[in-house]
């Protein structure tokens, strides 16, 4: 596993249209109708991260959850980050 180049990340974002790159990391903001739903989503993301042993930065603020993904050991975005983003998208789509 190695980190993706900027061009590779750009192509990958075609499959993750709601994600963007900020400071070399995958970034996504999720908005909800209530704080309870945002909290539930953040907790579910945390659980999925633990199961897959790949932990994002999660920021819960009222009705918003921000997720930032990058692989610390590689110093950039890897296939682990893309897989995590896909899991979070699937989870969000099921709410």
Structural domain boundaries of the chain? Answer: 6-93
- Model pTM? 0.91
Please name the helix (run of DSSP H) or strand (run of DSSP E) that holds residue 84, with its range, or none: helix 79-93
In tens, the pLDDT along 19-55 reads 999 999 999 999 999 999 999 999 999 999 999 999 9
| Cα–Cα dist 20/7, whole Å | 13
State whether CATH 3.40.50.450 applies to domain 6-93: no
Q: Provide CB contacts within 8 A for 17, sequence distance 6+.
A: none
The torsion angles phi and psi of 38, rounded to 5 degrees, stand at: -60, -40
In tens, the pLDDT along 24-34 reads 999 999 999 99
| Cα–Cα dist 32/18, whole Å | 15
| Cα–Cα dist 28/88, whole Å | 10
């Amino acid at each position: 596993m190695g980190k993706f180049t900027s061009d590779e990340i750009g192509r990958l974002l075609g499959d993750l249209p709601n994600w963007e790159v900020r400071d070399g990391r995958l970034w996504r903001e999720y908005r909800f109708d209530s704080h309870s739903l945002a909290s539930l989503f953040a907790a579910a993301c945390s659980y999925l991260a633990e199961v897959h042993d790949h932990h994002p930065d999660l920021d819960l603020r009222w009705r918003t959850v921000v997720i930032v993904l990058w692989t610390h050991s590689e110093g950039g975005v890897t296939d682990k980050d893309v897989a995590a983003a896909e899991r979070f998208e699937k989870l969000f789509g099921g709410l």
